[in-house]
Structure 1
Amino acid sequence: MLLFPEIDRKKTKRKVHDLLNAYRALVRIAGEKHAPKLTASYTFELNNVETEFTRKTEQLVDRKQLAEMELIKIVNAMNQLDAYDRQLLHDKYMDRNFTTNIAIYMKHHMSESKFYRELDKAMIRFAESYESGQLLIEK
């Protein structure tokens, strides 16, 4: 097994897109108290809430608990990225205000092509960070 096998970038980005596209729904399902706070440096911080689902592993896990666990995984992966990647992914997928890609790349003072290149890189880095590369798809 290779330590760094060749990655199918297109399929990996699709998995990241599908996961992060569900972020807003996960926050709604988990409840607003589980929505991570965003600091000025685009670091995500979970609220101090009881995480009973870790202590009740033998019980059935309902939709809310699954959403909470998924949010924790996403937050952990996001916090492993640098601030630039976190900011791009946040603006694209996690901001409460649905923003167009045009508004995002204008906000960041970059061309459209550079925006998509940087977003692609951020998505691959997120896939590497999420659960130790669980989203990566090898060729």
Structure 2
Amino acid sequence: MMLLFPEIDRKKTKKKVHDLLGKYRALVRIAGENGSPKVTTAYTFEMKNGSGRFSQKSGQLVDRKDLAEIELIKITNAMNQLDEYDRQLLYDKYMDRNFTTNIAIYMKHHMSESKFYRELDKAMIRFAESYESGKLLMEK
């Protein structure tokens, strides 16, 4: 029987989130300019017009670009379920085009290193809960 709130293996769950979000920049490059999300100043993610075009292709082969777009839509949906604070931390860590260091991120947010990692950990768990209804959550 699957419990609604089983005990989560935080370490394995965070690894899954890290592995997925670590591919974000590559997904954006593969999907191309039109297939990647736009990020607003409130760190809300919006898919650009033209995305979703692959839904008409059912029965045809789905190519790498389409798969990247589909994955970006799933990530976008999960990100938009989070609050702005979590979105901003995850964006700065995994999605900003100007790749930056953890030190630069926690200085930007005016927080200590330990607080940054605690807050990032929480944001990663919340992302795992949001992504496809908890698909990234790993049980103990």
TM-score range, shorter chain: over 0.9
Using the alignment, how far apart are the partners of 1:43 and 1:23 within structure 2? 16
Give, as a single letter, the amino acid of the residue that structure 2 aligns with 1:3: L
What secondary structure, in the 3-state scheme, does the structure 1 residue paired with 2:34 have?
helix
Aligned residue-pair number:
139
Cross-structure match for 2:27? 26
CA contact (8 A) 2:128 2:137 kept: yes
Give me the whole-angstrom Cα distance separating, in 2, the residues matched to 1:116 and 1:51: 35
| Alignment TM-score, normalising by the size of structure 1 | 0.97
Q: Is the 8 A contact 2:35 2:51 kept in 1?
A: no
- The letter of the residue matching 2:38 is K
CA offset at residue 55 of structure 1?
Answer: 2.0
The 4+ residue runs of structure 1 with deviation greater than 6 A are none
Letter in 2 for 1:134: K
Q: Residue 105 of structure 1 aligns with which residue?
A: 106
Task: Report the TM-score when normalising by structure 2.
Answer: 0.96
Q: Partners in 2 of 1:118 and 1:84 — Cα distance? A: 9
Q: Which residue of 1 aligns with 2:58?
A: 57
Q: 1:44-123, aligned counterparts within 5 Å? A: 44-123=45-124
**Residue 3 (structure 1) shift:** 1.1
User: 1:52 offset after TM fit, Å?
Assistant: 2.3
CA offsets 1:46-104 (integer angstroms, 9 cap, x no match) = 11115221122221111110000000000000000000000000000000001000000
Unpaired segments ≥5 residues, structure 1: none
